[in-house]
Amino acid sequence: MPGDQSIARQQYYGHPRNLFWRLIATYIGDHILTEPYADREEILHAYGIGLWDVMHRAERIGSLDSNIRHGELNDLTGLFARYPTIQHIGFNGQLSANIFQKRILLGLIEAGGFTKTMTTLPSSSPANAGVSHQAKVTAWFSFLQRSLA
């Protein structure tokens, strides 16, 4: 779920201290950081990257994932049916990976197999201060390089 600042700006990863766009720039290039938000989404798509929340909506006071309550799942089964060429899924943090694995994955497997690779990446959130910037860069760059090759 997007945080308060992302919701206010109507932009994925809109908090100025969120590292998501800078982590993406390590692979795509720094030019993405100077592009308007709408163009950033187009650039991601041109590289074969899509953004999708595991949760469609939820209640949350503040921006911390630990405050999420009454979450409603996004239709990821439908997403994968519409875009069968998706092969790699990167979760931006442990919570989204856990929700996917506990509430969505079994249904996908039962519906006909699930052959996509899944990687839990260190969260790009400023709240994830326990992981160094360099560790985040290394993990994200490796995932992007492996997934987009």
Active site residues: 18
89: helix, coil or strand?
strand
Between the CA of residue 138 and those of 52, 96, 141, 143, 146, what are the distances in Å?
Answer: 22, 20, 5, 9, 12
| Cβ neighbours for 62, distance < 8 A, ≥ 6 positions apart | 3, 4
